[in-house]
Structure formats: C-alpha cells, structure tokens
A and B are shown apart, each in its own frame.
Chain A
Amino acid sequence: MGKTTQNNRKKSENKVGGQADGMSSWQAMKRVLRLLSSYRILLFLSIILAGISVLLQLYVPVLFGDAIDQIIAQGRVDFAAITRLLARILILVLLSSAATWVMGIINNKLAYWTVQDIRQKAIRKIQQLPLAYLDQHSSGDIVSRIIADVDQISDGLLLGFSQLFTGIVTIAATLFFMFSKSVPVTLLVLLLTPVSFVVAKFIASHSYQMFKKMTDTRGQQTALIEEMVGGVKVVKAFGYEKRASGRFAKINADLQKYSQAATFYSSLTNPATRFINSLIYALVALAGAFLIMAGQLTVGGLSVLLNYANQYMKPFNDISSVVTELQNAMACAARVFALIDQEPEAMAASLEKGQKELGEDLGSVKGEVDLHGVNFSYVPDKPLIQDFNLEAKPGMRIALVGPTGCGKTTTINLLMRFYDAASGSIMIDGKSIYEVSRHSLRRNFGMVLQDTWLEEGTVRENIAFGKPEATDEEIIAAAKEAHSWGFIRRLPEGLDTYLTADSLSGGQKQLLCITRVMLLKPPMLILDEATSSIDTRTEMLIQQAFDRLMAGRTSFVVAHRLSTIVNADLILVMKNGRIIERGRHQELLEKGGFYSQLYHSQFAQEEML
C-alpha cells in the first residue's frame, strides 16, 4: 500500500473528531448567497420588481391626498382634476399589484430551489461520509439538520426576500414622501419612533427569562412523556399509572406557571408599541392641524401623513422580525453546511448515473483474503485492533470469537472498508482493498448483520435490493433457500406486501436480510450475529442454507452459538483487539487456554445439563 493513501486516511480521521460545527452566521450567509448566485437573473428581477411595487404603493396615497385636496367644500370640487388623478391611481395600482405578484412567484422559486439544492447536496454527502462521522452523530441530529434546519432556511429566505428589501425601500420612500409633505411633522415622527423600539426591547428582555424557564420545564416534561409513553406497557404491568400521573402533574403545574407568565409578557409587545404609535398619531394630528391653519400643509397632505405615520412602523417591525428569522436561518444554515462541508471518505462511491467509480475494479474474486499487521482504533490513543494477521484461503470458514468489545465487529468493518485501517494491509486475491473501488470490493461480499435493516417498500424490493433486475423466479428460489418463503407466502399480499417499520417480527426481518444475500451469492460472506434473533429450530434450517451458501465461499462469521463455531475451518479468538489464539475447535479445547475457558463458561453448560 502506498504511503500517500495512509497519510490521506490519517487526515480524514482527524477531521472527523476535530472539526467543530462552528461557522459564523456571516459565513453561512455568504454560503447561502453563493448558492443563490446560480439564480442571479431571478434575484436581480426580484429586487427590481420589489422596488417598483413598493414605490408605487407609497406613491398611491400621495395621489389620493392630492385628490382629497380637490374636494374642498360644497360647490368647490374640481371633478376634472379628480378624474385625472383617480385614473392615474388605477393604472399605478394595477401595475404595482402585478409587480408584487410576479415578485412573490420569483421569491418562492428562489427559496424552494435553493432549499432543494441544499437537501440534494446533503443526501449525497450522507452517502459519501466516512462511517466514523455517521457513527458518532445521532441520526436524529442529522435528520433534523436536513429537514427542520433546511425548512428554517427556506422560511428565512422567503421572508428575507419578500420583506427585508421591501422594508428598506419602504422606509426610505416613506421618509421621502413625508418630508415632501411636511418637514416638521416628519422630524417629529422620526424622533418619536425609537421610543417604541425601546419599549419593545424592554418587554422582550423581561419575557426572555420566563421563556427560558418555560422551555426548560417543557424539556423536562417531554423527557417524562417520552419515557412514560415509550414504556407505558411497563407502567401498566406494574400499576405505576397513578404515580406517573402525579409526577406529570407536578411538572405540568410548573409549566403552567412559567408559560402563563411568558405568554402574557410577550403578548404585551404589540399593545405597547401600538400605544406609542397612537400617541405619535395624536401628535401628528395636532401638529398637522396647526400647520394647515398656518397654510403650510393641506388637508390631503395631513391625510397622507397620518396614513404614513401609521404605516411607518410596520417595515421596522417587519425588518426586525426578518432579522431574527434570518439569524435563525443562518444558524441553521451553519449547521447544514457543517454537514455538507464534511470531508467525504477517500474514493467515495459515485452517485450519479454514468459516473465512473474511483479506483480500479476488483472484478470477480476467488476469495483469498490476507490481513497483515493491521492496526486500528476508533479513538486516537486507544488502540483497538492490534497487529492483526490472517491468511484466508478461498472457501475457508473463519469464526471470530471473543467477549463483547474485543474487536470482532470492527474486523468486519475493516474488511468491508466501512472503516480504514490505520496501518497494515488488507488484500483480496492479492489486491489491496484500498486501491480498488468500494463498490467492486463490496459487491464481492454478502453481509448479514445483527441489526435487521429493511427499506420501506415491498418484500420484493427488499429481497431484490442488491439486484433490482431479479425475476420473481429467482426471488422465490432465494426465499425458499433462506426459509423465508413460508412466511412471505402467508403475508396478505405475498411479495407485494408493503413493509413498514413494524410489520414484521425480528426473526422474519432477519430472514429477509438473509434472503437478500441469498439472491446474490457473492464469493465472500460476512455473518455478524446473523441468526441472533431467530429461534434455534429455524436457525438450524437456515444453517443448512448458510452451509450451502458458504460452501466454496470465504466466510467470516461472528457467532455466539456453538454449532457455527465447531464447524469452522479456523477459529480466531480475540481479546482486547488481539488474536490471542487460533486454530480449530478441538485443537483449541485441548490447548486449555482462553478459548477453552470461554467455551466452558459460555457453552459447555448446555452439555452439562
């Protein structure tokens, strides 16, 4: 194996643990903008339309004011001028409506397309991330990044587009129009508006404390709910219902107290700012009245000013809510990008049709597996696999035995290249597995794990998972061989039965997982506690199928049952990541070492009874 590959492997490992999810909102914003830049024409159009629609919407009240000024009193109405103004208003209103609508559609497109881009990038990254990353991060956390966080970005972008820009234009234009009507009144409004911000801020800081308490209590309550609902059968079996209810009531009372306070305090913001606005409104009316009497303002002008004074606050509120929303969105974006920016594993599998796999094709192998001087650790400084050596001839059956945590499953992880060894070589038919493409390597292995993962879909889709083009005859033949046909046939719709999370028992799921491999008949097999959730009688039947499958195929079996181990060509006894004994069953027993000790404590009693 080349030195470079080793170095690369080191590097990606360090990244996994080391890279924090930290990315500033500003960096996240830049990333989002970069994503948006592929839609720059639409973005530009949206900004232009926003400008047009806002300016028109602000100009219309001015024209209305002018029209009102033409209605002075009985017999003093200029109908010609009014008609002319109203016609102009009509055209502008229609224009602005059209602009607003088109802008809305464009903004939707921008937001939804960006979000689609992000989600598609994320799912691709999932397929290519090193398993070390995925094993260390809870799937719930990653799902929430791809779903909830991306949704938040979508909301933020939508609101951001539609309100941030229009808000700014509105404020600027409003001020311009107001100044054009009356400088003193506008100054008055400008001076007084900050008061309402101060008030809003004051309320927010006070309700924050209550919100925090509320959220904490809610968290406690949710934890209790999860436990008492998830374990409700235990609760019932032990007659614990009343006490559970009592515990719930206690937290519920706290929650009531905090959430009532939080709800009340936060709901004061609107009345308070509205109150300030009303005061400003009264002052504008008062000042306006005197200006009119002084001949410096018209009645229509006052109507415009009153209207604006009312609307003036709205964009500020909008902008501040947009800023909060955008901050949230960027915090979420940072989390999503932290996922997307993760370094993919070296020679990651290709995802798009027609794209070539990295690394040479291993082709179809005989199944000669050599591990030489392999070392590996999940956590730096805590070596797990140490100096692992093995030469497996084609067709050999190798059993891995040892106490929990001794490295049996890790060895499997290394063979399948789910993890890369830190040093040492792993060769199949004389080729290093680090030089061939991951797909061609894994195609040669059939794998059945203790964890029985099935896809939501029909039974047929699940069996044909690795060979979608398989015919029903092939599928049924494989199912019969794996002894799953009996229960499949009894399912309501046979092969077409749609499987969801809970539709099968553990044993049945495992039979399907076995069938899935049975259909492929790859040259090498990995069985990691493959029959642990199947009863022994069925296991015996499957064992025959496995024996047939394993015949002539190199197989690695992690097992906890005697029969599988006894017939192995080679038993590797592992302890703390090292192979401490190797040989056949009888040899090892006679040796009287760790294996015989293990054997006597684990299995022998079955015979002694």
Chain B
Amino acid sequence: MKNLSKYLADYKKESILAPAFKLLEALFDLLVPIVVAQIIDYGIKQHNQPYIFQQAGLLVLLAVLGIASSVTAQWFAAKASVGFATKLRQAAFDKVESLSFANLDQTAPSTLITRLTSDINQVQTGLNMALRLLLRSPFIVFGSMVMAFTINFKAALIFLAAIPLLAVVVFGIMLVSIPLYRQVQARLDEITRLTNENLTGVRVIRAFGKEGAEVAKFDQKVAAMTKLNEFVGRLAAALNPLTYALINIAAIILIYVGAIQVNSGAMQQGQVVALYNYLAQMIVELIKLASLIITINRALACADRVDQVLSIEPAQTYPEKNAARPADASVSFKNVTFTYPEAGAPALSDISFEAAAGSTVGIIGGTGSGKSSLAALIARFYDADAGEVAIGGQAVAKLTQEELRQQVAVVPQKAQLFAGSIRDNLRLGKEAASDQELWNAIKLAQASDVVENKAGKLDFKIEQEGRNLSGGQKQRLTIARALVKQSPVLIMDDSDSALDLATAARLRQSVAALLPKPTTFIISQRASSIMQADQILVLDDGRLVGKGQHQTLLQTCRVYREIIRSQFPDWELPELESEVD
C-alpha cells in the first residue's frame, strides 16, 4: 500500500480537514438530545416559554452549523479522493506502458484494463466514503457513550456493556461473510467465462451436438452459486434482527435502571429520554459503520490489485547512457539462448550468426520454431538468458531505450493500429515526420491505393482496432508505419501474410531498393518471401539447423528441403549432400 499512499500526500490538508469537519458535524448532532432533555426538564416542567423558544432556536442553530460543516467536509473529501484517484490512474497507466514484454506476458491485458478502470474507481469511492464517514460513526458511538456518562454514571454503564457486544455481532458477521462474498464473485466469474465460451464456440458445440452437455454443465455451476449465495444470505440476514434485539434489550435495562435512578432523585425524566435517544442514534451509526466497512474493504481489495501493478518489478532496465553508439547496422548473435519466463524449455538454443550491415536475412521455420523470438531479441523486447545480441558491435543491453528504438523498426506479426487518423498512426515512431515522408513510406509499403482511396487520405479516421480496414490494408499500413522511422535495422515479422504474392514481391523489391539500405530481417512461413535473401536462417524447435543461401541450403539442410517440398511439390530438388546440423 505504500505505493499508493504517496499519491495522497499532495492532498494531506484535504484528507485531514474532511474528517475534521465531519467530526464537528457529529459533535453538533450529539448535542441535540441534551438540548431536548433540557426542554423537557426545565422548559416544560417549569413552564418556561422563553427558555423553550431559546432551546428550539439552539436546535435550529445546531442544524445550520451541522450542514455548514458537513458541506465543507464533502468538498474536501471529493477533492482529495478524486485528486488521489487521478494521480493514481496516471501512475498506473504510465507503469503499464513502461512494463517490459516479459512482464506483460504474465498479465492478461483485460486484467490490466480492469485495474486501471473499475478498480481505481472503487478505490476513489472507498476513499471518499472513508474520509467522510470512517471517523464519524465511531465518534458518534463513543460520543453517545461519553454523553451518557455526563448524564448518569450507572445508566451509562449499560452503554459500556452494549457497545462491545454490538460491535462483536456486527463485525463478526461481516468478517465471516466477506470471504464468502469473494467466493460468490469467483463463481460468478466462472459462469461469465462459461457463458462466453458457449457463445464463441457455438458452431463447434452445435457441430458436435454438445448443447445438452453444455447446459448441464452450466446448470451445475449456477446451482452451486445459488447455494453459496443462500448460505451467505442467511448469515447476512441475521445482522439486522440480531442488533435490533440487542439494542432493545439494552434499552429495556436502561429504562429500568433509569426508573430506579429517577425514583431515588439521581436523575430526571428528560434525561432518561436523552439516554434513550443516544441509544437509538448509536445503533443507526453502527449499522452504517458496518456497511461502510464493507465498501472500504472492497476498495482495499481493489487498491491491493492496483498496488500489485505498481509494484511489478521491471524485468528489464536500460542504461542511462550509451556505452558507445553502434558502429554500423550489422547484427550479430553469439551463442544466444533464450527462455520465456515460466516456460519449461528454451525458445531459442545456442543461436549464432552475423548479418552484415545492409544485408537481407530471411528467417524460416515451422510454427513455434522460434522465428519471432529471434526477432524480438534484436529489438531487445526480451533479454537472452545467455550469449550476446549486438547491433553494430554494441550489445543491445548496453544501449539506451531511445537509441534502441531508433536503431530498430519492427513490423509486428499482428497488424495492430490505433484509433485516430492514418497520419497519427504512421507517425507513431517518428512524431515529426512530414507528409512527404509519410507518402514515401506508404508508396514503399504498397499502400498507396489504400490511402488514396480513403476519404481525407492521411486524415482518414481509423476506428479502434482498425475495424474499418481489411486485414491486408492494416498490414500494409503497419509496414508503412515501420518504414517511416527509417531505422538502420528493419524487422518484418510475417508481415506479408495477408498480402497476395505479387504485392508481397513488389514490397520486397521496394524494401531492397531502399537507400541507405537497412539490415532487413524477413520472417515468413512462405519460402518465396525469403528465398532471395543474402542469408537464410532455418529454425527448428528453437535451434538453428541451417544458415546460408537458398541453393546451399537446398543441398545441405533437410528441414529447409522439407519446407520447400511442402510449398513447391512439383520442384525437382538437388541431392542432399550432407547434413550440417
């Protein structure tokens, strides 16, 4: 929680003033029964009309003071809680954006989104309520007791006994039911998941005739939740009747003791009324306190979830300054082994190769063979377990984040664009890019027709997730987005998958003709995309099983031959000379 409390520090004044004014209001509330007792005992008994008017006026004054301090308190509470939540939200957002890929792989985006949105909202509500009420309710409860002692010592002892008893009941029930409510929530989540599964898998479920089985599974989960709900409900339903009985039993004793005290002359009738009123006030506050504590408890749970995000240890750190700048755009791997966090087996084992500046490297292999992992290491999205990845002779781990981003441009496998104009999207990696630069990149990416045909051209608004573009259009725009950066190293991760072969070929030609020519890594399932590369890396299950040019690999690499055969069944392949792996 320490992570969170520092965001409240700027609102220290408000956080103190809000409960302070709330206490002031409570104090005025506590005085009311005394004033009424005086009306009864002095005004009525002595038929003192001016006194009655005076005391009634006092009641009105107390009401005015009450609302004034209450409004002040609400103002400070709103300011502190909203201000705190605003700062917290910004910090959490920045934190998420700063997480490394290894961190991100371990948390689902949906969880992060919930934490940034509804969790922080809950924290805001909880803090607001706490500032307003957390002190007020106990203050009234104990204040009532103190006031009772000022009226009559013996009668006040009843308060002393009743308060802890009531507290035990109220908090006891709450303590038992809160974890149960959490269980209910977990079951509801499960039912949500199941419902969603039924919807997304509707074709498969129907194709396999599993409708009945799915219904039975759902019924069982729902019934279990109902049972649990009923159980918790039974417990929670006991709270009100139990406290009601206790407080009234206390009142019965109070009246009896009061009767004895009045009879002996130690107390007056009006004071009995006052004590009775204090008792009634107390129970209202205790119940309020209980529901407040539930709200706060929920807020604390949310705060804890936000805290978890804020306290994620970054899996990677970047040096403040470059040790030295890369000499050129060459890329080298020296005995690199890499395992994803929490994965059993390495995704890449002992990879070594050198790519000259300006050369084109093709990477091919089956699904899960490690192609994308290899590319991710060049951009240092992850750190290798062993070995060294270097650009221009400098280890990537020794470059600053800015330098690294400047050196490497990536076209990711998943064509992901953001809501906003085409211009905004293309400028993602280079804020100051001119329209001329954007159009150049668009042309190179074979995306001219995409942009030309859109209303507003560069100003065309892309919807969230790029919903108003086809897969191929999105892909070409993500390529253009990377080319805008004009980085020395370009990585294209399966980025022609949605393009037809002719377009893909034109794309490769235009990239090959770039000046200055970036060191280009082309990852593909399609042999045709990488065949003409200066160097082809063949990956199989995380190992480098072939390295060289197309013709050489055809003669030396079994895996490469199989890939070629699978895609070009009619080709005559040369004899396999010898296995290099």
Contacts and interface: CB of A to CB of B under 8 A. Distances in A.
Given A123-B198, A449-B204, A602 B500 contact: yes
Given A278-B63, A285-B56, A108 B233 contact: yes
Given A143-B196, A289-B52, A563-B569, A492 B344 contact: yes
Contacts of A222: 113, 117
B28 to A, nearest CB: 9
Contact of A93 (B78, B226, B249, B367): B249
Contact of B531 (A60, A535, A609): A609
Nearest to B73: A271
A256 B81 CA distance: 10
Contacts of A256: 82-83, 86
Contact of A267 (B77, B203, B366): B77
B229 A108 contact: yes
A286 B259 contact: no
A303 B41 CA distance: 13
Interface stretch (B250-258, B296-304, B572-580): B250-258
Contact of B485 (A116, A238, A603): A238
A142 interface: yes
A95 to B, nearest CB: 10
A101 B71 contact: no
B379 interface: yes
A290 B44 CA distance: 8
B255 A238 contact: no
B251 to A, nearest CB: 7
Interface stretch (B87-95, B143-151, B446-454): B87-95
Most buried by A among B200, B229, B259: B259
Contact of A104 (B196, B211, B237): B237
A245 interface: yes
B3 interface: no
Contact of A90 (B108, B201, B249, B406): B249
A23 to B, nearest CB: 21
B473 to A, nearest CB: 12
Interface string B252-273: 1001101110111100111011
A350 B210 CA distance: 10
A590 B345 CA distance: 51
Contacts of B113: 222, 225-226, 229-230
Interface stretch (A30-38, A65-73, A551-559): A65-73
Contacts of B260: 77
A447 interface: yes
B563 A349 contact: no
B514 interface: no
Contacts of A227: 418-419, 464-465
Contact of A299 (B104, B252, B270): B270
A538 interface: yes
Contacts of B412: 233-234, 237
Contacts, number: 431
Contact of B109 (A77, A230, A534): A230
A455 B368 CA distance: 22
Most buried by A among B381, B419, B428: B428
B210 A303 contact: no
Contact of A126 (B191, B202, B263): B202
> For chain B, what secondary structure do more than half of its interface residues adopt (helix, strand, loop), or is it mixed?
helix
Interface in B493-549: 500-502, 505, 525, 528, 531
B262 A73 contact: yes
Given A237-B412, A442-B208, A139 B101 contact: no
Contact of B233 (A105, A264, A516): A105
Given A112-B229, A227-B419, A233-B381, A238 B481 contact: yes
B181 interface: no
Most buried by B among A75, A143, A274, A468: A143
Interface stretch (B170-178, B215-223, B391-399): B215-223
Given A240-B429, A466-B210, A68 B276 contact: yes
Given A90-B252, A245-B90, A350-B212, A147 B464 contact: no
B263 A77 contact: yes
Interface string B187-217: 0100111011111111111111111111110
A442 B209 contact: yes
Interface in B62-110: 62-64, 66-67, 70-71, 74-75, 77-79, 81-83, 85-86, 89-90, 93-94, 96-101, 104, 108-109
Nearest to A222: B117
Nearest to A142: B199
A501 B188 CA distance: 18
A127 B366 contact: no
A536 B525 contact: yes
Nearest to B193: A456
A181 to B, nearest CB: 14
Contacts of B44: 289, 292-293, 299
A94 B199 contact: no
A142 B202 CA distance: 13
Nearest to B63: A278
Contact of A238 (B196, B234, B344, B429): B429
Interface stretch (A186-194, A247-255, A472-480): A247-255
A74 B273 contact: no
Contact of A77 (B40, B85, B259, B381): B259
Contact of A82 (B94, B259, B280, B568): B259
A75 B191 CA distance: 69
Nearest to A239: B405
Contacts of B43: 289
Interface string A36-78: 0000000000000000000001001000100110111111110
Contact of A237 (B74, B238, B381): B381
A281 B59 contact: yes
Given A252-B90, A438-B206, A275 B63 contact: yes
Nearest to A87: B252
A183 interface: no
B230 interface: yes
A453 B13 CA distance: 55
A505 B367 contact: yes
A16 interface: no
B244 A96 contact: yes
A490 B337 CA distance: 20
A207 B191 CA distance: 36
Contact of B205 (A60, A127, A143, A451): A127
Contacts of B565: 540
A232 interface: yes
Interface in B114-157: 116-117, 121, 124, 128, 132
A422 interface: no
12 contacts: A60-B248, A90-B252, A100-B241, A104-B236, A127-B198, A128-B211, A225-B93, A237-B429, A271-B66, A271-B70, A290-B49, A601-B500
Given A64-B251, A227-B418, A535-B367, 6 more contacts: A72-B269, A83-B256, A249-B90, A255-B86, A268-B71, A442-B207
**10 nearest A-B residue pairs (beta carbon):** A104-B237, A108-B233, A278-B63, A282-B59, A507-B367, A238-B429, A74-B265, A97-B241, A239-B405, A271-B70
